[in-house]
Amino acid sequence: MARTNPRTKPARDEATRSGEQAPNPVWFKPVMFGFMLLGLVWIIVFYVSQGQLPIPALASWNILVGFGIAFIGFLMTTRWR
């Protein structure tokens, strides 16, 4: 019967215990910065078009939509490794 040494643990267990986490997927950073830039562009388009774009029916709520989109990108930065 084979015995396992209790002092040696698989490398996978040591990595999870030490607090290391897997790196982000390749798509994470472009999506994160994409949300931030899209929100900024949304707000700029609203101001430059004097409220006629991107969605005229929202009127001044377009600013909140732009900040909301950008905020999603900023929230993603908390998960960036």
Check residue 5 and report its DSSP letter.
Answer: -
Q: What is the pLDDT of residues 3-17, one digit of tens each?
A: 666 666 555 555 556
Tell whether 81 is covered by a domain.
yes
Does residue 46 sit within a domain? yes
> Considering the domain boundaries, does residue 71 fall inside one?
yes
Confidence tier at 1 by pLDDT (50, 70, 90): low
- The Cα–Cα gap between 9 and 56 comes to 61
Q: Is residue 36 included in any domain, yes or no?
A: yes
Query: For residue 4, which amino acid is it?
Result: T
Q: Name the DSSP class of 23.
A: P
Identify whether 25 is part of a domain.
no
- pLDDT per position as a tens digit, 14-60: 555 666 789 999 999 999 999 999 999 999 999 999 999 999 999 99
Tell me which residue range forms the domain holding 65.
32-81
Provide the number of structural domains found in the chain: 1
